[in-house]
Amino acid sequence: MNLKSLAQHLGISASTVSRVMAGRGDEFRIAKETQKHILDEAAAMGVRPDELARSLRLQSTRTLGLVIPDISNPFFAALARAVERRARALGYTVLLADSQESDEVEAECIRTLMDRRIDGLILAPVGGDSAHLQPLIASKLPLTQVDRVFTALKTAAVVADNFTGAREAVKRLVKLGHKRIACLQGREDSSVIVERVRGYRAGLSEAGLRFEGKFLVGGEHSQAIAREHTLRLLEMKPRPTAVLALSNQLALGALEAVRERGLIIPEDLSLIAFDEQPWATLLSPPLTTLAQPVEDMGTVSVDRLCELIKRGGKPSRKALTTLPVRLIERASIGTKKKD
């Protein structure tokens, strides 16, 4: 069936059907209900617009790019799913790229996506230096940062309240009687880790506890490295009685180390981890987590990007959106035993 036949079937003028199928319904002030009716009937009858022709006419591909640091990380997989779901609801297709925690790979991913003429980009950047992103900024492509952020770039950004989440976790551990609280961190130049470590230190300070550098360990987003550093923590005398792991992958490394040493959670070590995951409740004991609003982060980042696209890439004055983190207490933390 062609457009003319579809128009006859619908009892609507061929010009109206053509404009809607070309994505120009709003431009010609065609009612939303009429547009939806035409598109629904077209889909049901197997009539598809010529996407290439439409993109050339509108200077738009209805495609968004998404670059994340590690697709194997459950947090970023969930974020990608949320982004794709929201983008699809708004009529966009998402092209996904994995930067593999490398700024060189990230720059390559961005170049590739820009060559595909994406309408805008959602980026969870890696590293502590944004120099490799300057060509992207110079291009004026609409950009929203998510989770990790380079504030100096002055783009739209969507983040979780990492500082408050870490601070509240420490306060809860202190309330349970813990004073030797270690922190297992990821990549130190990541904005997320910087904020979480800042919150960890603030929690200690507010409780009147001295920050001890030996209890701040790690440096990579790696389960294996987290295991090694946790083993070192467990060899200290006196050792920490609680650990705040700044990601789910780091928590898994900590759990490995605890098991290797034949220790028991929370009797020998209390554990809190950032990121809520379905498997958290399946562990024995279930893991206490700091749940980031990953679904909202994905949804809001798409909304902010689409707003930018409509404004021609100019960020609003309130470019940063901060979403709350929620402490979900389970049996992996407990009252500190007497020394």
**DSSP classification of residue 55:** H
pLDDT of residue 1: 54
pLDDT of residue 107: 95
Average pLDDT score over the chain: 91
What pLDDT band is residue 2 in, cutting at 50, 70 and 90?
A: low
Q: What is the mean pLDDT of residues 24-46?
A: 85
pLDDT digits (tens, 9 = 90+) for 119-175: 999 999 998 889 989 999 999 999 999 999 998 888 999 999 999 999 999 999 999
Six-digit token string for 328: 């979900």
Angle, CA 98 vertex, CA 164 and CA 299 arms, to 5°: 50
pTM recorded for the entire structure: 0.80
pLDDT digits (tens, 9 = 90+) for 179-193: 999 999 998 989 999
Q: Alpha carbon of 53 to those of 23, 49, 56, 128: distances in Å?
A: 11, 8, 5, 41
Q: What is the mean pLDDT of residues 259-270?
A: 97
Q: Is the peptide bond before 285 cis (omega within 30 degrees of 0)?
A: yes
Measured CA to CA, the distance from residue 287 to residue 152 in angstroms comes to: 36
Would you list the DSSP string of 213-237?
A: GGGEEE-SS-HHHHHHHHHHHHHSS
Six-digit token string for 91: 């009529």
Number of neighbours of residue 262 by Cβ within 10 angstroms: 7
pLDDT of residue 315: 65
